[in-house]
Amino acid sequence: MKVERNFTVLLIGIAAIFLILSLMLPLGKGNGMIGAGFFPTAISAILLGLLLVNFIQTTKSKNKEQQEEVQGEQEELTGIRKGQFIFLVSLVACLFLTDILGMLLSIGIFIVFTLYFIEKMSWRTSILFSTIFIVSVFFVFEKWFGLHIPKGFWSIII
């Protein structure tokens, strides 16, 4: 419980720094369009709010759960560390594979891997969610916003 609370405090600090930095960007333009700082400010503010709620819930439930979890805390901590290590290794692999396979495919593999091995979802659900996410990201960024996503070796084909 203490580890979770400390980690939440660390994330609150990071989110607060991002919120402060994003407020330095313009929220809007003179012509009524949103500026470069709108989405970073909104996302960091939402993240900060959710982290504060999580911190309050963790602090309130500390006394109740502390008595119940003393016995299984060491086993749970080992499982959490294993999951965090798997997540970190898969995230680093995703970053390195982005240049080779392209961003969408590497993120898709990362999502499938994370959902199956860490969240214990079925292969079918993991692949379905990952496919929907990749297609959505492709259409939003490539087609709607007109931004180019790194395609890796797919840039030769597409």
- Bigger pLDDT: 5 or 52? 52
Confidence of residue 70 (pLDDT cuts 50, 70, 90): low
Average pLDDT over residues 34-51: 87
Task: Tell the residue number behind the tokens 């309130």, with chain if given.
Answer: 60
Distance from first CA to last CA of the chain, Å, rounded? 49
- Residue 136 is predicted with a pLDDT of 92
Digit-coded pLDDT (tens) for 74-108: 556 566 677 778 888 888 888 888 888 888 899 99
Number of C-alpha atoms within 13 angstroms, CB side, residue 108? 17
- Residue 79 is predicted with a pLDDT of 63
Cα 29 to Cα 34, 37, 40, 90, 141, distances in angstroms: 6, 10, 15, 39, 21
In three-state form (DSSP H/G/I as H, E/B as E, the rest C), the secondary structure along 79-147 is: HHHHHHHHHHHHHHHHHHHHHHHCHHHHHHHHHHHHHHHHCCCCHHHHHHHHHHHHHHHHHHHHHHCCC
Confidence of residue 112 (pLDDT cuts 50, 70, 90): very high
- Bigger pLDDT: 154 or 23? 23
**Cβ atoms of residues 28 and 34 within 8 Å:** yes
